[in-house]
Amino acid sequence: MSRRQVGDVSGKRDYYEVLGLSKDATDTEVKRAFRSLARQHHPDKNPDDTDSEKRFKEVQEAYAVLSDPDERRKYDMFGHEQPGGSPFGPGGFQGINISIDDLFGGGFESIFSQLFSGTRGTRRNRGQDLLVHHEVPFQAAMAGLEDEIEIDVLKVCAKCDGTGSESPDGVRECPTCDGRGRLQRIERAGPFTKQVVSDCPTCRGEGRIVQDPCSGCRGHGRASQAKQIRFMVPAGISSGTRLRMRGHGEAPKGNRGNSGDLYIQIEVKSHPWFERDGPDLLMALPLGYVDLVLGTEIEIPHIDGKSLSIKVPAGSKPGETLTIADRGLPGARGRRGRGSVTVLLKLDMPGRVPRGLRKSLEGMRDQIGTDMDSLQDRIRDEAIGRRRG
C-alpha cells in the first residue's frame, strides 16, 4: 500500500536550512533561531544593505510557516511545491514590519499569528490534500499504464454521516464563539495595532460541540478508510511527475465543503540497460575487437516491442556513439514524435584468454599491434581529436 511521503522539488531554500534547524526542531527552538537571525539581519542594524534585507525577509518567511502548526505540517509533506501555490497568496510573502524592540520584547508572535487567518475560513471548508509516492515499471514511460493503488484516507463517517454525534440532538452550537468557530481580538505589536483572528479554543474552530460522540469516529465526523484509486499513467512520464486526482483527498471536517485532492508522485523504475535523458535513451554496447574492426549488425529486444537493430561500421573505435532516431520514448504531455537511442561502443576485454588463443594472438602481434616508434604520435593525435570533439 502506498504511503504519504515528503517531497520537494523547488529551487527555493529549505525553511529549516534558513533557520539552521533540523526537521524535528521544537517550537521553542524555531522561535529562538528566528529571534537570533532576525536581530542579526534587521534593516535597522544593516542600513542600505540589500543582502541583509533579503536575508531578513527570508528568515521571516521561514518563521511564518514553521511557527504555524498547520502550515508546518503542509510544508513537511509537500515542501515549497504544496498544492494551491504559496500559502501567502499569489503575491507570495511580502515581509512584515517588525521593530527591533519587538525582537527583544517578544511582541512579534501576534503579528505572525494573523498571517494565515484571512484564508483559514475558506480552507476549513475543504479537506486536506494528500501526497503518495508510487513506483511504475520502465515500460510505462513507453506505452503508458492503467494502474491502481490503495490508500488509507479520512472519509466521512458512515455511521453518523459526518456529524460526529450518535444522535441529531447530540450537537449544539458553541457558546463561546456563537457557532462561528473563530474569535477576534485587538492586540498591540510595537507601534502597530493588529486585529488577530484565531480558532475558538472551546470548539477548536468547529463552531459546535458534540455532547454524544459517535462510536464509529469518536466524535470527529471522519474515520480512516481504505480506498482503491484507479488512474492513468501517461506515456512519456518521468520520475517526479505528480498526477492530480481531484476529490480523492481527505473529507472536510463536519462534512461541510469539498474533499481535498490526492497527488500521486510517480517514480519510474530503472531499465536493465537503458539510461534516460528526457525522451532519449542511452546504452553501452560491449563488443569484441574483431566486431569493431570488421563491423557487425546486432539485434536486441526493445521496449516498443520491435527488435532494435544496431549497425556497427567497420573500423569503429571504443568510445564512439551511434544514434538511432525515433526509437526512444514518446514526448511527455502529448508532444509528437519519439526520442532517439544513443549507443556507446565499448571494447569488451575477455577476463581469461585460453592458452591456444594466446599463442594465436602472440603470432598476430606484429600485424595488429601498435608500432612503438609512432606511439607518441598516436597519443598526440588521439588527444587532439578528443579535444576537438
Tell me if 214 is assigned to a ligand binding site. yes
Q: Which residues have C-beta within 8 Å of that of residue 239, sequence separation ≥ 6?
A: 266, 267, 268
Q: Are 290 and 347 in contact (CB under 8 A)?
A: no
- Rounded CA gap, 127 and 253, in Å? 7
The H-or-E segment that residue 19 falls in is helix 15-19
Q: Is 177 annotated as a binding residue?
A: yes
Task: Give the CA distances from residue 211 to residues 7, 124, 132, 182, 217, in Å, rounded to whole numbers and listed in that order.
Answer: 40, 22, 36, 20, 14
> C-alpha cell of 387?
579535444
219 — alpha (psi -120 to 50), left (phi > 0) or beta?
A: left
C-alpha cell at 173: 452550537
Q: Which residues of 21-51 are buried (b: 16+ CB within 10 A; e: fewer)?
A: beeebeeeebbebbbebbeebbbeeeeeeee
160 in a known ligand binding site? yes
Is 365 annotated as a binding-site member?
Answer: no
Contact 134, 264 (CB under 8 A): yes
Would you say 174 is a known binding-site residue? yes
Angle subtended at Cα 71 by Cα 68 and Cα 76, rounded to the nearest 5 degrees: 115
- Please state, as a whole number, how many other Cβ atoms lie within 10 Å of the Cβ of residue 306: 10
List the beta strands (DSSP E) in 204-350: 208-210, 222-233, 242-245, 262-268, 275-277, 280-287, 296-300, 308-312, 321-324, 341-347
Name the binding residues: 157, 160, 174, 177, 200, 203, 214, 217
Name the binding residues for Zn(2+): 157, 160, 174, 177, 200, 203, 214, 217
